[in-house]
Amino acid sequence: MTEHRPHSATTAMGNRHDYLPAAGRDALLPTYDLLTRTLGVPRVHQRLIDQADLRDDHKILEVGCGTGNLTIMARRSRPAAEVTGADPDPRALSRAERKAHGLPGIRFDRAYGQELPYGDGEFDRALSSLMLHHLDDDVKAPMAAEILRVLRPGGRLHLVDVGGPMTPADGPAARLTLRGHHVAGNLGDNIPRLLREAGFDCTEVATQRHRAMGRVTYYRATRPD
Ligand SMILES: C[S@@+](CC[C@H](N)C(=O)[O-])C[C@H]1O[C@@H](n2cnc3c(N)ncnc32)[C@H](O)[C@@H]1O
């Protein structure tokens, strides 16, 4: 008998953890930084940081920081800010820690987005890059609720991911991506709906075609005062 199980992002690519690692499988993690540089992800990170209006007196959290590239970029852009990267993958976190070696004001914690080990209202900004499509549908709402909880009133989440108003007209990468289940939860207005249902005021800030990912879309989600 064929067993029909709902699509799970977490078990995709034969992954054996209860989270989907940055490159899909542990063995590919050493290629992640080179791959993402080649795909132009640093420009996506820079654009997200430009939108986030980070300040030196901010406490900033990246949820799903992986190997730490965005967390470190945020810290470099605001040398007096306190920046934390959280991710469930200890292998990715050791790489992040190695790269941040010697930088004050930055730390990395092993944590899941849906169970953040931080106090209510602790952060001024939260960042999330290319993380949401790694989550199973049933943890997305708890994750959004947790980010809302750890932001202060008026604090903002800046999120970028593959998807948004992506259509086959966006090119071959979009057509390939749209054939899989991977980003279905990110398409159309699914992301703003998720964030609004959690209690955020959410706006799409920008969207751009991307030669390797099809389309990436940037959101700003504010915790109401
Ligand atoms: C594609 S990587 C993105 C890493 C980094 N944000 C970047 O832009 O390069 C997705 C990350 O999400 C993390 N992740 C998977 N499940 C998670 C969860 N439940 N909570 C937080 N992060 C998660 C993975 O471990 C991985 O590091």
Q: What domains sit in the chain, N to C, each tagged with a CATH number?
A: 12-222 (3.40.50.150)
pLDDT at 61 over 70: yes
Instruction: Give me the percent of the chain exceeding a pLDDT of 90.
Output: 88
CA dist 5 and 81 (Å) reads 44
How confident is residue 180, by pLDDT bands cut at 50, 70 and 90?
Answer: confident
Contact 67, 87 (CB under 8 A): no
* Ligand 1 lined by 23 (C-beta under 6 Å): no
- Atom nearest to 66 CA in ligand 1: 27
For ligand 1, atom 25, name the residue with the nearest CA. Answer: 21
pLDDT at 24 over 60: yes
Strand ranges inside 103-223, DSSP E: 106-110, 123-129, 151-162, 201-210, 214-222
Q: Is residue 22 in contact with ligand 1, taking CB distance under 6 Å?
A: yes
46, 87, 116, 118: residue to mutate for ligand 1 pocket, most atoms within 8 A of CB:
87
Please give the number of the atom of ligand 1 that sits closest to the Cα of 68: 5
Confidence class of residue 5 from pLDDT cuts 50, 70 and 90?
very low
- Cβ of 19 below 6 Å from ligand 1: yes
pLDDT at 3 over 60: no
pLDDT at 212 over 70: yes
| CA of 131 relative to ligand 1 center, distance in Å | 4
For 126-176, how does the pLDDT look when each residue is reduced to its tens digit (9 = 90+)?
A: 999 999 999 999 999 999 999 999 999 999 999 999 999 999 999 999 999
Cα of 2 from ligand 1 centre, angstroms: 31
Q: Is 188 exposed, middle or buried (0-12, 13-18, 19+ CB in 10 A)?
A: middle
Residue 6: the pLDDT is: 53
Pick the residue whose CA is nearest to atom 16 on ligand 1: 19
Residue 85 CB less than 6 A away from ligand 1: no
Mean pLDDT for the stretch of residues 180-198: 94
Whole-number pLDDT of residue 7: 66
92 Cβ closer than 6 Å to some ligand 1 atom: yes
Q: Return the percent helix, strand and coil in the chain, to nearest 5.
A: 40, 25, 35
The overall average pLDDT reported for the chain is: 94
Interval 203-222 mean pLDDT: 97
Q: What is the pLDDT of residues 81-136, one digit of tens each?
A: 999 999 999 999 999 999 999 899 999 999 999 999 999 999 999 999 999 999 99
- Determine which helix (DSSP H) or strand (DSSP E) holds 91, and give its type and residue range: helix 90-99
